[in-house]
Amino acid sequence: MRLAVTGRHGQVVRSLLERAPADVEIVTLARPEVDLQEPRAVAEAMVAARPDAVVNAAAYTAVDLAETESELAHRINGEGAGAVAAAAARLGIPVVHLSTDYVFDGSLSRAYREDDVPSPLGVYGASKLAGERAVAGANPDHAILRTAWVYSPFGKNFVRTMLTLAQSREEVSVVCDQLGAPTCALDIADGVIAVARNLLARPEEAALRGVFHMTSSGETNWAGFAEAIFACSAAAGGPSARVKPIPTADYPTPARRPANSRLDTTRLAERHGVRLPAWQDSLAPCVARLLAAARAAP
């Protein structure tokens, strides 16, 4: 299976490159060669890549900055996603598109299901919702995978930030009234590959198409996540800090965050047979890798 993946340095793209088994070839399509803001460049790159399926993992992800860069966010996350899906449709191949919990406002008291009505709180969520709709409209052969609270051994993420803060602080204040499931990008990569295989193996099966939620099982809040990170770090001889739980109101940001980012993953398990591990299971290996990389750095 040959997958064309938009992006090159993002957490999911790097995880796909690492986790792809021997029978899966990953071809990255990224700037400067491929710009999601240029539909013709996307289409030409797709033809040249000769993929069996496309994974749209590239996105504008600066949640707070999006509040002042609305046009750019919508151009990349909305129009760009549609261009990728349209290019895949012209080639007659499926597209797997990554989306986010930010399409919801977080007001429900239970985990969100795929058929719950989206209601984004900010520009980032609105741009990602626009992307979902553009993908669905451009290519019926699609699987849209919403995930949340993504971290990995790569790039900027909450785990790396906490470990960095613990090097210089004895106490770290972390929001405690937002719920979700920390999800390792390496696990997401495994799930994406499994979904792509299913789409290719069963092209006529409508139940495999549509929107699915893909996060780790279990739930916590950001403060609980931070405590787990520090526990893993301390066990591995790394830095640790006390966590001071605070309400969201005490940590204002330009963009509002959903108070409830829990996503019900039942549909993904039933239709694709994909279940990501419990969030705690993937955390310790990731922390160990980040600590090892920090120790090896000059």
Indicate the domain borders of the chain. 2-296
pLDDT values of the chain reduced to their tens digit, one per residue, 298 residues: 999 999 888 999 999 999 999 999 999 998 777 777 787 888 898 999 999 999 999 999 999 999 999 999 999 999 999 999 999 999 999 999 999 999 999 999 999 999 999 999 999 999 999 999 999 999 999 999 999 999 999 999 999 999 999 999 999 999 999 999 999 999 999 999 999 999 999 999 999 999 999 999 999 999 999 999 999 999 999 999 999 999 999 999 999 999 999 999 999 999 999 999 999 999 999 999 999 998 887 7
Domain 2-296, CATH: 3.40.50.720
* Predicted pLDDT at 172: 98
* Predicted pLDDT at 38: 82
* Predicted pLDDT at 30: 81
What span, in angstroms and rounded, lies between the C-alpha atoms of 236 and 171?
Answer: 19
What span, in angstroms and rounded, lies between the C-alpha atoms of 218 and 232?
Answer: 18
* Predicted pLDDT at 298: 76
> Are 290 and 167 within 8 A, CB to CB?
no
What are the helix (H) ranges across the chain?
Answer: 11-19, 39-49, 70-74, 81-91, 123-138, 158-166, 185-201, 222-235, 266-272, 279-296
* Predicted pLDDT at 60: 93
> Are 294 and 236 within 8 A, CB to CB?
no
Rg (CA), the chain: 19
* Predicted pLDDT at 39: 79
What span, in angstroms and rounded, lies between the C-alpha atoms of 147 and 156?
Answer: 17
**Cα separation values, 182 from 198, 257, 287, Å:** 25, 15, 13
Return the active site residues. Answer: 124
* Predicted pLDDT at 43: 87
Up-side HSE of residue 70: CA atoms within 13 Å toward CB?
A: 7
Q: How far apart are the first and last CA of the chain?
A: 38
